[in-house]
C-alpha cells in the first residue's frame, strides 16, 4: 500500500510502498483510511521536536487524525463490523490500567499513538485497537470528521471541562479562533449558556467566530489594547473562564489580566511560559488547568454534536500524494480550516 513516511528530521516526507497491516491479536481493528488530517504537530514532528519524547524508529508513517471504514477485525471484536464508518480515537489504549479504568484514555500507561510513536494514517490502511474506534452516524463521512479526532477532540475536551462549571450569564473568553478555536466556539455555543467572547489578531478569524455564534469579538494586538475592552464587556470584573488556544506571542500574560477572581485559565495551546506572581494566584484563587487531547467519551460526545449539525469543520481536501502541498500550505498559513488527505 501507499504510505507517506518520515525518513529523517529536517527532511521532506517521502511517498513509499509498505506491506498492509495484518490482524495479530483478537482486539485489533484495521481501518481503510478515508481521510487523515494534516496537523501542526506533523510539522513539529518533521522539525524533530517529538523525536526524544516518542522514541519512534524511522522511517515511519505519520498522520494521527484518522477516519475511514473498518476493513478487518480480530476474533474478539464485536461492536464494529467490516464496512462500518468509523473515526479513531488517536491513542490505542489497554483498558486495564487505572487511567483507562477511569475513562482517561489519554493517560493510558500502555498506550500507542499511531502517527506519533507507531505507524499512522497517511496511508491506505491503519491498524488500531477495538477500544479506539467510534462508529459514525450515517450522516457523517470520514472526510468531514477526520480532523475532529485530534484538533476537534482537544478543543472539545477543554471546552466541555470549562462548560461543566460555567453558569448561564458567566463570561468565557476564548483566545484564538483558528483551527481549534473555530471548533471550540461551536462546542461552547452548543453546550453552555455562558456568554462567549472571542479574541484573535486576525480579523478574518473574528468574522468566522461571529458567523459561528460568538457573542462578542475583540481584535487583539501585541500591545494589549484589547484588554480594557474585554474588561468593559465583563462589567469590569473579568471572565469566569479563559480558554487559551494560542499560548504564544504574549497571549497568556494578556489573558491572565482578564480573568476574574477565582476564575479558571484553561491552557490548550503551548509555546510560551507562564510567569504569574504566586501572590496573585493565592490572593485571587485563580486556577491554571492543562488540557491534553481528550478521552474516547469526549470524542463520542463530539460525534453526537457533529451528527446534530452543531459542529462543522472547515476543510481543504488534498489527495494523499499531494501531501507535500498540504504540508507547505499549512506551514505557510494558507489552509482555510483544516487540511485533509484522502487516499
Ligand atoms: Zn493533530
Ligand atoms: Zn491503559
Q: What is the pLDDT of residues 213-237, one digit of tens each?
A: 999 999 999 888 999 999 999 999 9
Which phi and psi angles does 318 have, rounded to 5°? -125, 150
Residue 248 scores a pLDDT above 90: no
What is the 41 CA–ligand 1 centroid distance (Å)? 6
- Closest ligand by atom to 116 CA: 1
Cell output for 81: 463490523
The tally of CA atoms less than 13 A away on the side-chain side of residue 1 is 20
The mean pLDDT of 199-216, rounded to a whole number, is 95
Angle at alpha carbon of residue 37, lines to 64 and 321, rounded to 5°: 105
Q: Going by CATH, does the domain composed of 153-290 fall within 1.10.357.10?
A: no
Q: State how far the Cα of 277 lies from the Cα of 254, in Å rounded to an integer.
A: 14
> Predicted confidence band at 336 (pLDDT cuts at 50, 70, 90)?
confident
What is the 45 CA–ligand 1 centroid distance (Å)? 11
151-167 confidence digits (pLDDT tens): 899 999 999 999 999 99
Q: What pTM, to 2 d.p., does this model score?
A: 0.93
Distance of CA 157 to the CA centre of its chain: 9
Residue 140 scores a pLDDT above 90: yes
- Closest ligand by atom to 294 CA: 1
Domain ranges in the chain are 2-149+295-342, 153-290
Residue 84 scores a pLDDT above 80: yes
Which phi and psi angles does 83 have, rounded to 5°? 100, -20
2-149+295-342 in CATH: which number?
A: 3.90.180.10
Q: Which residue has the higher pLDDT, 9 or 247?
A: 9
Q: State how far the Cα of 283 lies from the Cα of 281, in Å rounded to an integer.
A: 6
Residues having C-beta closer than 5 Å to ion ligand 2: 93-94, 97, 100, 108
Cis peptide before 40 (omega within 30 of 0): no
Amino acid at each position: 500500500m501507499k504510505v507517506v513516511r518520515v525518513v529523517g528530521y529536517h527532511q521532506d516526507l517521502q511517498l513509499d510502498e509498505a506491506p498492509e497491516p495484518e490482524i495479530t491479536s483478537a482486539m485489533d481493528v484495521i481501518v481503510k483510511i478515508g481521510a487523515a488530517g494534516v496537523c501542526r504537530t506533523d510539522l513539529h514532528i518533521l522539525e524533530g521536536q517529538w523525536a526524544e519524547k516518542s522514541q519512534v524508529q524511522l522511517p515511519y508513517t505519520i498522520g494521527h487524525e484518522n477516519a475511514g471504514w473498518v476493513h478487518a477485525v480480530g476474533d474478539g471484536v464485536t461492536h464494529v463490523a467490516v464496512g462500518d464508518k468509523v473515526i479513531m480515537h488517536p491513542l490505542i489504549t489497554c483498558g486495564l490500567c487505572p487511567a483507562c479504568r477511569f475513562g482517561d484514555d489519554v493517560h493510558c500507561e500502555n498506550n500507542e499513538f499511531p502517527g506519533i510513536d507507531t505507524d499512522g494514517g497517511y496511508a491506505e490502511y491503519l491498524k488500531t485497537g477495538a477500544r479506539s474506534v467510534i462508529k459514525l452516524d450515517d450522516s457523517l463521512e470520514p472526510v468531514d470528521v477526520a480532523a475532529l479526532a485530534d484538533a476537534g477532540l482537544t478543543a472539545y475536551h477543554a471546552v466541555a471541562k470549562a462548560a461543566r462549571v460555567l453558569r448561564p450569564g458567566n463570561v468565557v473568553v476564548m483566545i484564538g479562533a483558528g483551527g481549534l478555536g473555530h471548533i471550540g466556539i461551536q462546542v461552547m455555543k452548543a453546550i453552555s449558556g455562558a456568554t462567549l467572547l472571542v479574541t484573535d489578531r486576525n480579523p478574518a478569524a473574528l468574522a468566522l467566530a461571529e458567523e459561528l455564534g460568538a457573542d462578542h469579538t475583540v481584535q487583539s494586538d501585541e500591545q494589549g489594547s484589547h484588554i480594557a475592552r474585554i474588561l468593559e464587556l465583563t462589567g469590569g470584573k473579568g471572565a469566569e473562564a479563559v480558554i487559551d488556544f494560542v499560548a504564544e506571542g504574549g497571549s497568556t500574560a494578556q489573558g491572565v489580566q482578564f480573568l476574574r477572581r477565582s476564575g479558571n485559565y484553561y491552557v490548550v495551546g503551548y509555546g510560551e511560559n507562564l510567569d504569574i506572581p504566586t501572590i496573585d494566584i493565592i490572593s485571587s484563587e485563580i486556577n491554571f488547568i492543562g488540557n491534553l487531547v481528550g478521552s474516547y467519551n469526549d470524542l463520542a460526545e463530539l460525534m453526537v454534536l457533529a451528527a446534530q449539525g452543531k459542529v462543522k469543520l472547515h476543510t481543504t481536501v488534498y489527495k494523499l500524494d499531494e501531501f507535500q502541498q498540504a504540508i507547505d500550505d499549512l506551514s505557510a498559513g494558507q489552509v482555510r480550516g483544516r487540511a485533509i488527505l484522502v487516499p
